[in-house]
Amino acid sequence: MKKVYICGIVASGKGLLRPLLDGHHMITTCPQQGLGLSLISQKFISFVKRKRLLASEKQKNQKSIKKIELVINTESFTVTVGEIISFLNKNDTLNSFIDNCIGKIIVAGSSQDNQRYINFDFNYFDFLKLFCKRLSNITYPLRLEELQNLLFQVFLECWKNNKSTYTDNSYFIQSASNGLVPIMDILENNKNSKIIIVMRDPVALSYTNTERIRTKFKNFTRDQKFLFEQCLFDLKYINKIKSFQKEVTSLLQKNNDRIYLIKFEELVLKTEETMSQVANFLEINIEDSLYTATLNKEPLETDSMKFTGKINDDPYENLNKSQILLLKYLYGEKIDKLSIIELISIKFNALKWKAINKYLILKNKIK
């Protein structure tokens, strides 16, 4: 099964790339982020390798208990069908879209304020039943990727209103969970796959993350400047972004045949050029469908809702000059044409926010 994972971090733009890929006739996109990723994770490997309690081991060895043999690297392990289902329900995103299955809708969008809902006819319980049946009929050793492929295949069979024309030559594309860990798991345990990483201007990431927290949790308003900037200049978040970007650069050098990097800003403002380059990476025909957002092959864009052409939550329109310069400085970006006074001011504010961050960390530890 040919797979493509769209990777990145929160608010990096993964939610825009998947709908742009969705319309291509050689592509089927999964409507649920991170589906099945738990089956190739280190957590699942540890679960399979764990030492069972005596009662659990005796039950597993009963002839009537359905089980399969999993091959991890060069070792073989026996795991029951029930254990796999139990693990999925606790650790996968599979169970997080039950409401979508009941409500028969799925969502796509490039931001929280730019979302559309499309009909989704999928019976979750039929899926579990069929997946259990297929697992129970397996009589040969499975690798982790083969187990995951089986889950994807059953998912596609149970998606009743799926409008894709999936074949063995098609790509199955999904947005991975956020962060570096899923990328490492995919590279290690998903050999027949490619990865597209969406990177975004770090200044925009800090601003978008601040807005996401502000609107989602209603912790503060834009008028509460200190609370707003406390989130905007959060050094823990900034260091996380810097570390992610550094690791991605390293991975790209080692796996340039499997990993492709695109910039969110270019995806929005230079859509045709960027998507044509993505098509070349995937070795698929360049089609006009790649330039318009769809979900389950249904158009998402309207006259009042466009997914490309304009950047939502643009920090350069919503932050003042001193905030932008300070963020660039904290991210270690080169800043040209600054006066001595501006440079002193930036360094002073950087020291101030570093001290505030240290104080807040110490305060939370004491609590």
So what's the pLDDT on residue 58?
A: 74
So what's the pLDDT on residue 253?
A: 86
So what's the pLDDT on residue 113?
A: 61
Q: How many domains does the chain have?
A: 1
Residue at 226 is within a domain: no
Mind giving me the DSSP string for 108-133? EEEETTEEEEEE--B-HHHHHHHHHH
Going by C-alpha positions, the residue among 271, 268, 258, 291 that lies closest to residue 24 is 291
So what's the pLDDT on residue 366?
A: 65
Residue at 43 is within a domain: no
Domain residue limits at 186 = 2-36+92-122+159-201+241-308
Convert 184-219 to b/e letters by CB count within 10 Å (16 or more is b). ebbbebbeebbbbbbbbbbbbbbbbbbbbbbeeeee
Residue at 171 is within a domain: yes
Query: pLDDT 10s digit of each residue in the chain, 367 long?
Result: 999 999 999 889 898 999 999 999 999 999 999 999 999 999 999 999 988 777 677 777 777 889 899 999 889 999 999 999 999 999 998 888 888 899 998 887 655 566 788 899 999 999 999 999 999 999 999 999 999 999 999 999 999 999 998 998 999 999 999 999 999 999 999 989 999 999 999 999 999 999 888 887 777 776 788 888 989 999 999 999 999 999 999 998 887 789 999 999 999 999 999 999 999 999 999 999 999 999 999 998 888 788 899 888 899 999 999 999 999 999 999 888 888 888 899 999 999 999 988 877 777 666 5
Residue at 85 is within a domain: no
Residue 18 near residue 290, CB atoms below 8 Å:
no
Residue at 108 is within a domain: yes
Residue at 100 is within a domain: yes
Residue at 329 is within a domain: no
Q: DSSP code of 7?
A: E
Rounded distance between C-alpha atoms, residue 268 and residue 191, angstroms: 30
111: CATH: 3.40.50.300
Rounded distance between C-alpha atoms, residue 149 and residue 36, angstroms: 9
Q: DSSP code of 30?
A: -
Residue at 113 is within a domain: yes
So what's the pLDDT on residue 61?
A: 76
Cα-Cα-Cα-Cα torsion 206, 214, 309, 5, nearest 10 degrees, comes to 70
